[in-house]
Each structure stands twice: as C-alpha cells, then as structure tokens.
Structure 1
Amino acid sequence: MNRRALITLCLAACLALSLGGIALASAQAHRLGWKDCGDGLRCAELVVPVDWADPGGPRTSVHVAKLPATSRSMGPLIVNFGGPGTSTSMLRRKDDPGLPPELPVLLDELRSRFDVIAIDPRGLSEPGSAKRVSCAEPAASVYGLVLARTKQDWDAHAAKNAAYRESCRKTAKSAWHGLTAWNVAHDIDALRAALGQDKLVYAGNSYGTVYAQAYLELFPQRVGRMYFDGTADHTQRELEPWLRNYARTQERHLTRFRDWCASRTDCALHGRDAGKAWDELVARVRRAPLPASARRTVHEGQLYAGAVKGMNPALWPQFATAIRKALDGDAGDFLSELAPDQVSSSLSQASLCNDFMPKAPTYEEFQAIEAGLRQIAPRFGWIEGRFELGRCWGFSGGASWAPHPLRVQGVPPILFAIGELDNNTNYLGQQHVAEQIPSARVLWHGDGHASWAGNTCLRRHVNAYLTTGELPSPGTRCRAERIQKVGK
C-alpha cells in the first residue's frame, strides 16, 4: 500500500471511530465479561473489528487478562511487555527462564496501586488458546542470512520466509489484514473505553512501544501517561539509516564487552583484551574454518551467528568462554552454547514484518548497503544488516503499516527509559523516537534491554510517574544494576 493510500485510510478510520467508536466501545464495555482463568487472573475477550479501517465489517476478539489490585485501585494500567507475542501469560508469574526473575516484584508493586491489564495482539494469545494462530510452515531462522555464504543460500532463505508468510495468511484467513500495530493501537483504545478510562495509562516494553507510537498519532487527546521501555524505532522510512544505528550500537557493544571482561576476574578472557581476542578469531576463520570437537568446523557465518547471540550482556560470560576455547583450538561452543535459536511457526514474525519492512533491497542493492555498514562498523556491527534483514527477507508487498516519522503534538509528558547497553532495540533508535515527541522526558540507565523490572532506580522513577505523573529531573540517570549480576 502506498503512503498516500495509507494516510487516506488513517483519516477515514479515525473519522469512522469518531462517529461510531464511542457507541461501539460502550457496547463492548457490556460485553467485557471477566472470568477466573487461573493463577489469580481474570480474563476476557474484547470484541473488535478485524480491520479498524472497516469498523462495520467482520469481528474478531483479542485476549485480555487482569491482575487485580491488592489494595484500593487507582484504575487500570494497560501493559504490553513486547514480542510481538503474548503479554497476558506474563501476568501468571510462572517460572520462565526467558522472563526477568524480578518481574514478580514489579507486578506486586504495580498492583498495589493499579489493576494491571495486559492485552495480546491478534493471533498471539496464550499457549492453548483458540485465538492463538500457528502457521503451517515455520519461518526461516533470523540468523539465516548471517549463516548464508552464497546467493543460493539467500534465495533459499527467501523461499522459506515466503512459504511461511503464505501459510500464515491462509491460517489467519480474514484476520490477516488486521495484523498491524495500527490495528492493535485501536484495540488498546477500545479496551480503554471498555474499562471506563477517560485517559489511557499505559506501559509498553519493546514491541509494546510500537503500539504506543501508533496510539500517540491516532489518539493524542486520549493520552494520560505513557511509559516507553526499550523503544523499537518505527520512524525510519529507509532501511539503510535504520540498519546503521544497529551497526553502530553493536560495534560499540564489542568495546563494552571488552571493558566488562577487563573488570571481571571471572571472565574467561580476563587479563587480555577481549576485543582483540575477537579480532584474532575473525582473522583466523577468514583464512580457514575453525576446528571444533567431534571433527566439526566452524565457518565465518557460524562464528558471527554465535557472536550476535553472545553479544547480549546476559550471555557475555558464555561468549568470553567460547572465544577463549576457540582460540585454544575448539570452537564447538559456537555450535552449541551460542548456536542459533530454533525456528518458529508463531505469527509474531509475520506481524513484525507487516509493521516494519520498508521497501526491501535486491540482493545486489544490499551488497552496497553492507559495504557501507562495514565502513562504519568493521569489526562486528556490520553483521547486523544481515541479521535484521533476515527477519523479513522473502516477504512480498512491503509493510502494511510502514515506518514513518512520528506526527505527535499536544500530548502530556511521556517518559522514556533508554539503556546504554540496549542492543536489542538499539539506544540510538530509541533516542531518535524520543526526539520526535516534544513532551518526552528521557531517563537513561546503565543496563540493557527491558530493565524496568530489574533496576530498582528505574522502577522507583517509573512507578512514581505512572501513579502521580511525577517525572525524574532532567539529566537523571540510573546506574547499572543488572549487568553487575551477570555471571554471578
């Protein structure tokens, strides 16, 4: 869809909502029937249009879960913890190694003042839910282009993603057209109205901030307080500048990894320059594959794929150990401890590409883009181009709700938390989003992605903002807390 058509669509949908949305939301308020659904939660299904561009058209529903307040409630706090994926299951407080161990503490603090309410995007409900869509074909691994060595490898990756996308489209049926953050933002507003909330109080982490960006544009007059944590930059029209921010961030991360290792006696590379150790390993693999146990070898793509995974600060100890062992003659950890994750048939990757894929370059055009990335981030960061492009390489038709500069005016103060160690939603992109919102206040901290739960200073300031609207003083910075615990 071209941009002029999209803008026309937005205007038409907003007009339709202004004329009929209040009545629709009022009707939904009576249909939002809460039921016990285990683990102390109350659950409901919110009935919404399949596509808010056609508010009178077919209906679907999205899953909503509530963690009731433990004392007198100030009202609802709507949350989305990212993904794109299920947020409602995160309220269940189950043991999950993929979740921050401090999440129960954060939830207890929030529910002492709010009814905490999570909303799932379309097709991404809790495991076992009838609303959860599983595609017939799995997506290609996001590491696929990092591992690719020939154009044939690139073509095979594209073919796998194309088959995945088509299977998702067939499985989702008519709901496919609603799989955008633009529609989820409308769902959030319908939930706000169904809850009887005049002004939205919302906290979004990671992909939850994409929905928040759409909400700010669509419903600025309904914004009360909004918190952005680990913001994904949905404001870059062109792919190359978006990738440059990732490349620069990852290049700097190699230096931060080096400094962390130098400060820790338990780092496997302590006593030597960890950055130079990485450089030496790259030089070796470019001469010949690295030997590994059981007569295996590791080629350059496998080395970089493991490094992309290992550059997450939580995995720095394993990354350092893998480098040391590889230099000593066994690179096997890059095939085991740091091996790429398994592929998925979840709808989440298709939803991401529906929102985030600008006009994709051809294979030949990307070679020129990659050459530019190698110039600004030659040691490690350049590989991010392949990693990020690999998510949607092979998808056709472009994004349904394409990235574009934010157009936001007249909203109350918005709080952003940006981590200096965030290489997931890179901190340069996060800053770029915040700069487009005149009322934004940025709270920098020394940790990485999604640190709201694990940084006590951050929790204190964010919870004060959500409950009272109090912003941290300009220039306030929270020191690193989570990174200090890595490896201990």
Structure 2
Amino acid sequence: MIKRALLVAATAALLLPSIAGATALAEPALDWTPCGDLQGECTTVQVPIDWNNPDGGTTNIAIGRLPATDPQNRIGVLFVAPGGPGGSGIDSYILGANKLQDGELRKRFDIVSWDQRGVKRSNEVRCSAELLAQAPSDYPANEQEYQELLAYNAELGEDCRKNTGPVFDFVDTTSVVRDLDAIRAALGEEQLSFYGASYGTQVGQQYAELFPNRVRAMTIDSNMDHSITSGSRYIETASEDLEGSFNAFADWCERTANCSLHGQDVRAVWDDVHAKAEAGTLTDPATGTALSASSLRSELMNAMYSPEASWYPLADRLKALAEGNPAVTAQAAPAELAQNSYQAIWCDDWSWKVRDVAELQRYRDKAEKVAPHTKLSAFWSDVTSCLGWPAEVSNPQHELSINGAPTILIVKGKYDVATPAAWNLAVADQIDNSVLLNYDGIGHGQYYRSDCVSEQVDRYLLTLETPAPDTHCEAIWPTEPPPPAATATPTGPAPRPLHAL
C-alpha cells in the first residue's frame, strides 16, 4: 500500500497536468510480492475514490510488472492497458504469456499492467447473480417492454451499487486515467510508454489528452471512438464491420478446401440458420434448447475477433446447427454474486439519448441496411444496457483535444467487429500528430494478427521511429484448424462480446 504522503503528492501532480517538466517522485518502497510464473511481481497503489475529492475515501488499485530482463539497457516502463472494459491487465499481461512480452520489449522495458478500478482485484463491481439472470430482452418489441427494460436496468444498477460500495459511482475512464498517472508517479517515472488495444485505446487517448507531456510513446491498436454521440451511428458502424467480417469469412471458406462448409453457399447456410433462430425454431445441439438469434449473432461476432483460432470452429458450428448434429457442453454452477464490471464502466462513460421503442427500431432498420446477412452487431446492448442506468455519466462522449503529446501510432484492421474501421479513422482525424498503420485482414487487436504489424509497433516503441504514413500490412488467412485448446468458438450460447482481446 502506498504511503499517505505519496498519495497526497501524486494527487497534487494529477491536479496540475499542464505543468511542463514536472519532476517525477522517487520510487517508494512499494510492497512488491512475486506473482505468476514469468518472474512477475504485484502490489497495490492507493488512490482517491473520487479524484475531485481527494480527501474523501480511498481504494486500492492492483498492479503487476515484469521487470526488464536487460536492466543495463532499460528504456523505462511500458504500460499495457487492459481491454474490456472489465478485462484484467494482471491476468492478461503479467500472469499469462502474451506476444507483447516477446523479444526486445521484454528486455528493454518493465512491462506494467493493472486491474482498473471496478475490475477483479481492484474493488470489482459485483451484483446479484440472480438478478443478472433475470435480464429482459435487449430487443423490446413494444413500448411496455421498453419501459420494463429501463426499470430493470435501474434496479440492477442499484443492486450493483449496494454490493460494490462507493467505487461503483467512480469507475469512469477519466478516473482510470488519473489512477494510471498515480501508478506512474508511484513507480518514479517521469514519462511512460503505452500500448493499449480495444477499450485500452480509450484509456490511452484520454491519458494523452490530460497528460500529454508525460507520454514518451503511445500505440493505440483497434480504437474506440468516444466522440460518437448517436446510438444509431454507433450501432450502424459496428454492424457494418460485422457484415464485412462475415463476408470475408464466407469468401475464405469458399476458397479453402479444408473448411467444413467448403463447396456450400456459406451465406445461404448462415441466412437459413439465422432465419430459424429468429423464428424460434433453431435448436442448439449443445443444450437441446432453442437458440436465439441474438445468441447466434454473438457467437458469430466472437469468432471474428481471432480468425486464426475461430474460423474453422465457426464453420464446424454452423454446419452442426444446419444439420442438427449433437454436442455436449458443461453447465456452470450458480453463484450468489457475479461481476458486472463492463456495464458499470460502460454506462459511466456513454450517454445515449433514446426517446422510445420506435427510435430503437429505427436503429435496427438502419443497421440491417448495411448488414443484410448479419443484421445487427451484438454491441446493440452497449446502448440498451445503459438506458435507465442509475449512475450519472461522469465521462460523457467528446472529441479528443490532444496538444503537446509525441507522435501517436494508430493501428486499425480492414474489418473489426469490436472497434470498426470507421472508429479508427475518426480517432486518427481527431489526433493531429498521429500516424496510421493498416492491417488489411480481419480481426481485433492487430498486433496479435500480424508479424508485420508487431514489428512496426515494436520498432516504434523501442526507437520512436514510426512507419511511413498509411503503411499497409497484408492480410493473413487461416490455413489449418487450430489445436483443440485454442478453439475460441463455444459449443453453446456465446457470452456477450467485449471490447477486449
């Protein structure tokens, strides 16, 4: 736990972000303990619950680091932001092996990540599992069902507040960014290097906005666009990239002999299975129960995150659904409380103005025009889950205003179901001092899709040398089914997709 004197000093520094050349604090004696199998170490840093009231209550943020393996040539700290929101940075980057730990980055940087406030080890948002299981449809058919959805969201939010404590109302990304700078100060670093993918890009964007002089280098990969204020535009762009990703999958399967749907009209197979799900006549062979259209679309969307791990299993799954082949899946035991970090954080960051069920239907109609096969992104619920939510939106949407930061490297894919190409291009337009690196394939988190991308990102983080503007890395397509342990497509209803890897 960080000492009170350091907390006060870090708070003062955070409240004065415009002071150039501020001297970093000497690294305190943080209470590091070994964690994981990769020679990692973990600790906590104490921060205010409400950064606008630093003398109020505090909370602990769990952090972890992998010290540089070549300390004589150490550059500094590379902060790696978790995705989600709701993903554990400690699990992903400190306890588990990750491509970012390879090669020179692990040698030259202390790799540091954290569980942001409201997530796992850092005062996780917890809610009644029974109440979570009672969620009504995200697709209200009439005004009564729409009002029932709003009432349910309000009840769930109050339950989460009761079971989580005061942190519940302060899990917005601005607070997360201020926590990040407190961690930087606690580590004694004048500047940080940063890599963030998916939701982690929003953390990076807002850090550069608040603390531009404290950034040495920043790569933001598969970008959120927090300037979108229209729910219709948000859903339409997400649906557009789901359709584009699905069409790329269908084309791949048609030209790939060992795809289990090779030789069939993949689009027709999908359309038929989806139509049955919409009619309530599709039986999931994994459970013997009806499979809804929204669950089917979530499966499809999840499979588009990582084509190399998921496209072969997706083809097998669609073939099984079309033919009614049996499968077995295990059922999880019930719990009294369950984490609900995503919804709490999301609804603290995004304000959606929806008048009634008729407006929602117009959103669906516009999405289906750009996505005639896949119809609608599963991120539809990013809008509907916040309607009626009781917490105030602490960090509403806005266009970025970044001044004084070094060149920021932006990485995007051709189609990305979790952070569509349109969002990445919008962010590039908002950051004047940025360079765009394009991956011409499908997937989410382009650093993990392409050696070409990772080599460019590594070079920039190590040397500050950016690729030429608008550089393209060619697409990589799956050629062999993954081993069973790598299969990413479930054999039962898919979990809700996250803006995470």
Which TM-score tier does this pair reach, normalised by the shorter chain? Answer: 0.7 to 0.9
Q: What is the match of residue 113 of structure 2?
A: 118
Q: What is the match of residue 90 of structure 2?
A: 88
The one-letter amino acid paired with 1:74 is: I
SS in 2 for 1:404: coil
Q: Of 244, 259, 269, which residue of structure 2 is paired with 1:267?
A: 259
- Shift of the 93–46 alpha-carbon distance from structure 1 to 2, 3 Å rule, reads closer
1:31 offset after TM fit, Å? Answer: 5.7
Q: Is the 8 A contact 1:78 1:203 kept in 2?
A: yes
Q: Of 421, 436, 441, which residue of structure 1 is paired with 2:435?
A: 441
CA offset digits 1:173-202 (Å, max 9, x no partner): 232332111011111122222323222211
Mapped pair 1:41 → 2:33: no
Q: What is the match of residue 321 of structure 1?
A: 316
1:270 offset after TM fit, Å? Answer: 0.6
1:151 offset after TM fit, Å? Answer: 6.2
1:116 offset after TM fit, Å? Answer: 0.8
Q: Take 2:79 and 2:256, find their aligned partners in 1: how far apart are those partners?
A: 40
User: Which ranges in structure 1 are unaligned for 5 or more consecutive residues?
Assistant: 1-11, 95-101
Mapped pair 1:356 → 2:384: no
- Shift of the 142–268 alpha-carbon distance from structure 1 to 2, 3 Å rule, reads farther
Q: Is the 8 A contact 1:25 1:190 kept in 2?
A: no
1:166 offset after TM fit, Å? Answer: 1.6
1:436 offset after TM fit, Å? Answer: 0.8
The one-letter amino acid paired with 2:230 is: E
Q: Is the 8 A contact 1:16 1:55 kept in 2?
A: no
CA offset digits 1:189-242 (Å, max 9, x no partner): 222223232222111122211111211221122222111022222121222212
Q: Of 163, 174, 184, which residue of structure 2 is paired with 1:171?
A: 163
Q: What is the match of residue 469 of structure 1?
A: 464
Q: Is the 8 A contact 2:138 2:149 kept in 1?
A: no
Q: What is the match of residue 194 of structure 1?
A: 186
Q: Is the 8 A contact 2:227 2:399 kept in 1?
A: yes
| CA RMSD across the alignment | 3.6
SS in 2 for 1:382: coil
Q: Take 2:212 and 2:134, find their aligned partners in 1: how far apart are those partners?
A: 35
Q: What is the match of residue 199 of structure 2?
A: 207
CA offset digits 1:83-137 (Å, max 9, x no partner): 223201223444xxxxxxx7157345422111111122113244xx7x4453344
Q: Take 1:79 and 1:485, find their aligned partners in 2: how far apart are those partners?
A: 31
CA offset digits 1:392-433 (Å, max 9, x no partner): 344135522111111123321101111224211222212211
Mapped pair 1:419 → 2:413: yes
Q: Take 1:363 and 1:63, find their aligned partners in 2: how far apart are those partners?
A: 41
SS in 2 for 1:260: helix
Q: Take 1:324 and 1:211, find their aligned partners in 2: how far apart are those partners?
A: 40
- Shift of the 270–192 alpha-carbon distance from structure 1 to 2, 3 Å rule, reads same
Q: Take 2:188 and 2:93, find their aligned partners in 1: how far apart are those partners?
A: 22
Mapped pair 1:258 → 2:250: yes
Q: Of 439, 444, 452, which residue of structure 1 is paired with 2:447?
A: 452
User: Which ranges in structure 2 are unaligned for 5 or more consecutive residues?
Assistant: 1-10, 484-501
Q: Take 1:438 and 1:105, find their aligned partners in 2: how far apart are those partners?
A: 27
SS in 2 for 1:417: strand
SS in 2 for 1:69: coil
Query: What is the count of residue pairs matched by the alignment?
Result: 461
Q: Take 1:148 and 1:318, find their aligned partners in 2: how far apart are those partners?
A: 32
- Shift of the 67–286 alpha-carbon distance from structure 1 to 2, 3 Å rule, reads closer
Q: Take 1:350 and 1:472, find their aligned partners in 2: how far apart are those partners?
A: 37
Q: Is the 8 A contact 1:165 1:395 kept in 2?
A: yes
Deviates more, 1:132-141 or 1:172-181: 132-141
Q: Take 1:23 and 1:407, find their aligned partners in 2: how far apart are those partners?
A: 21
Q: Is the 8 A contact 1:48 1:60 kept in 2?
A: yes
Q: Take 2:162 and 2:181, find their aligned partners in 1: how far apart are those partners?
A: 28
1:34-183 correspondence runs (5 A): 34-39=32-37, 40-72=39-71, 73-84=74-85, 85-94=87-96, 103=98, 106-107=101-102, 109-126=104-121, 131-137=123-129, 140=132, 145=137, 157-183=149-175
1:440 offset after TM fit, Å? Answer: 1.2
SS in 2 for 1:17: coil
Q: Is the 8 A contact 2:28 2:187 kept in 1?
A: no
Q: Take 2:22 and 2:411, find their aligned partners in 1: how far apart are those partners?
A: 36
Q: What is the match of residue 99 of structure 1?
A: none
- Shift of the 257–437 alpha-carbon distance from structure 1 to 2, 3 Å rule, reads same
